[in-house]
Structure 1
């Protein structure tokens, strides 16, 4: 359990390629393995259109042939099946040292879900979990996907919240391998909602759930290229 409130650097980016964000996460994890006293980091950003697969994901959930497709696809070290990222979907990558919280991956997944649930509660939306399934649902539709990797108790990857994206990209896959439950977005429930509005509320909920003090940094995407 966490004894004292920790500082967490909040890095806000706009549109960042998946490869850049992935490399950045790995660099942050490596730094914290070498120096566990470093502050935690929460990265909030959007990605250009991209499909990602978890380490053990099956290609059966793709509705296209990845060998001849023009879609950008990455197989990553996170858990979970295939998912889709695109602009106007808010993606969060927490780099946390769970030794300062709880060394329990199920606890961590439930905390990430709680961040989304509390975020949506700020819009008077009653989001919820489903037993045996990771993620967050709203009126029968999955609005947030979660997939993580933990190395020496340092976390990477994280969550994706559909704010107001073009949902057509999800039609090319069986999202998260769940064929009988549709995906949805917050725009179906709140008109004129934007990612910039939601990222503020996600940060507030994250600070509350994990009991951290956020140190905010806002960057242009070009800054991330310089870092990695």
Structure 2
């Protein structure tokens, strides 16, 4: 098992995908997970992308947190195998799907969730934003508004699904749900605090912090 802090870093393939429909990315994750269950020696993968507008529900999520009729909505809704309640993805939001073999890190899902939060917190810190965790909740907040969400799935210690960071999205889609089932917290974006921020620069910062927090060697074809 890889020890954190060791000189030998786990290799992780970085896959930048641009804009991908949710169903396409979801199927790819399932395929990559299945491949690694059958071939556990494969390198890890970090997929970074954006989704066109879409709502997703976690395994045990309730439709009571929807403010619209799913049968009449022009925006697709998917029930997935991740944890958590309903969330919204759209352009201007960076989404990361790490496909990791936690046996090389730590077989502890709570640790993994906190690591993902740390990636987002460090990223925001580089733009002068003091990001925080909220006791008993998963995600990242800045000045009381939630800017980062996390929902994961693990099978035999292989992960899928992941995190999202609101950089410069149109937040209106969140008004149609109770995001993550949290009624007393607003959803925000980095652009509210840093008006000149760009998606491309945040993506690079996020990728670098992911590599540092998980102590992996990222490589790609790009």
Question: TM bucket by the smaller chain?
Answer: over 0.9
SS of equivalent residue, structure 1 residue 150: strand
Q: Tell me the TM-score normalised to structure 1 length.
A: 0.94
CA contact (8 A) 1:18 1:50 kept: yes
Looking at structure 2, the residues matched to 2 and 126 of structure 1 have their Cα atoms a distance apart, in angstroms, of: 31
Using the TM superposition, give the Cα deviation of residue 216 of structure 1 relative to its aligned residue in structure 2, in angstroms. Answer: 2.5
Q: Which residue of the partner structure matches residue 179 of structure 2? A: 175
**Other-structure match for 1:214:** 218
Q: Distance in 2 between matches of 1:68 and 1:84?
A: 17
Give the CA deviation at 1:168.
0.4
Listed one character per residue, the Cα deviations across residues 93-150 of structure 1 (whole Å, up to 9, x for unaligned) are 0000000000000000000000000101111111010110000000000000100000
* Unaligned stretches of 5+ residues in structure 1: 219-228
| 3-state SS of 2:81 partner | coil
1:2, CA displacement in angstroms?
A: 2.5
Q: Which residue of 1 aligns with 2:147?
A: 143
Q: Secondary structure at the match of 1:51?
A: strand
Runs of 4+ in 1 over 6 A off after TM superposition: none
**Which of the pair has the greater relative contact order for Cα pairs under 8 Å at 6+ separation?**
1
Count of residues paired in the alignment: 218
Pairs within 5 Å for 1:27-38: 27-38=31-42
Matches within 5 A, 1:1-228: 2-3=2-3, 4-218=8-222
Whole-angstrom distance in 2 between the partners of 1:143 and 1:40 = 26
Q: Provide the aligned C-alpha RMSD in A.
A: 0.9
